[in-house]
């Protein structure tokens, strides 16, 4: 992958973190139950895909980009 593309992808993936953090805060404030558990699992899936599809492949090719992100 071209380094400029990798840099842009890492920046975009990392830019999701504050939004995902807000989602986590909302979910955390919910009462325990099946709905909360389902939302936690959904958020976990988003984080997993973000990491597996973007962060890890780029960090293997450009370790310095993952460290800076």
Dump pLDDT digits (tens) for 15-38.
999 999 999 999 999 999 999 999
pLDDT average, residue stretch 57-67:
90
Secondary structure of the chain: what % helix, strand, coil (to 5)? 85, 0, 15
**Residue 69, helix vs strand vs coil:** coil
pLDDT score of 54 more than 70? yes
Mean pLDDT over all residues of the chain? 94
Q: pLDDT-derived band of residue 66, with 50, 70 and 90 as boundaries?
A: confident
**Residue 1, helix vs strand vs coil:** coil
pLDDT average, residue stretch 54-62:
94
pLDDT average, residue stretch 5-22:
95
């Amino acid at each position: 992958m071209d380094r400029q593309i990798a840099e842009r992808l890492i920046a975009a993936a990392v830019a999701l973190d504050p939004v995902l953090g807000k989602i986590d805060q909302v979910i955390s404030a919910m009462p325990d139950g099946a709905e909360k558990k389902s939302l936690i699992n959904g958020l976990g899936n988003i984080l997993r895909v973000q990491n597996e599809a973007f962060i890890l492949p780029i960090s293997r090719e450009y370790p310095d980009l993952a460290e800076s992100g």
